[in-house]
Amino acid sequence: MNFHVLTLFPEMIENGMRTSITGRAMEKGILTLHTVNIRDFAFNKHQKVDDYTYGGGAGMLMQAEPVYLAWASVAEKIEKQPRVIYLTPQGRTFRQDMARELAQEENLVFLCGHYEGIDERVLEEIVTDPVSIGDYVLTGGELPAMVMMDAISRMVPGVLNNQESGETESFSGNLLEYPQYSRPEEWHGKKVPEVLLSGHHGNVDKWRREQSILRTAKWRPDLLKGAELSGKEWNYVHQLKKKWKETQEKNENL
């Protein structure tokens, strides 16, 4: 996987991505990172890349030409026209299935905006995928680009070692991960659940599955709709919800 990032803050991307697991994958050559400073394509004396918006209104806009030239400098080196992801709160919301799909690409280009955004005309010409990372507004596209590259990298074969990939299916089957414990056996008076010390793998698996369902029902009930549960497990969910509703009603009557 080759990541290309068009940005006014390349050092932010470099520092973030060359750290930890993604950094290790780059040293191994499984990932490459190529940052392009859009300012290098501002052909005026002051290397200015922004200007006022036509029609008035607050803030400055990134101009079309430097963004276009930055993109062209990347595109001319790649045979097949790469997908260009524009980070914007107006885009489609990023999800795990999108990460999995994008991980299949050979090259990905990320376009990071700043100020109030980018001149619409260049977006029309180069962007294939406008993407948001959630419903809140950030100051620029750099953090969202790093969030996406991190999630995509994990899906590229060889980036995680076997031990890491075994633990990373937080979203498998639309269920959240079960709670986990390490030494010591007792900490702040809290004991590790007995079943995990038993060495009985069948019981451990059963407990973990139950905890996953419990946790999903409690924290992310919206995910349960897409979960694959047995009839018995659905029953368990309904019982949990009934119990919580009764507790809530009791508390309201106090």
Residues of the shown chain interacting with ligand 6GU in the complex, contacts defined by CB under 6 A: 87-89, 132-134, 136-138, 140-141, 144
CB nearer to ligand 6GU: pick between 137 and 254:
137
b/e 44-67 (16+ beta carbons within 10 angstroms → b): eeeeebbeeeeeeeeeebbbbebb
The least CB distance from residue 141 to ligand 6GU, in Å, is 5
Q: In this structure, are residues 99 and 129 in contact, taking their beta carbons and an 8 Å threshold?
A: no
The least CB distance from residue 91 to ligand 6GU, in Å, is 6
Closest CA to 94 of 137, 151, 140: 151
The least CB distance from residue 88 to ligand 6GU, in Å, is 5
Q: Using DSSP bridges, classify how beta strands 190-191 and 186-187 pair: parallel, antiparallel or unpaired.
A: antiparallel
Helix or strand run (H / E) with residue 54:
none
The least CB distance from residue 151 to ligand 6GU, in Å, is 13
Q: Is 115 buried (19+), middle (13-18) or exposed (0-12) by CB count in 10 A?
A: middle
CB nearer to ligand 6GU: pick between 139 and 230:
139
CB nearer to ligand 6GU: pick between 54 and 136:
136
CB nearer to ligand 6GU: pick between 115 and 236:
115
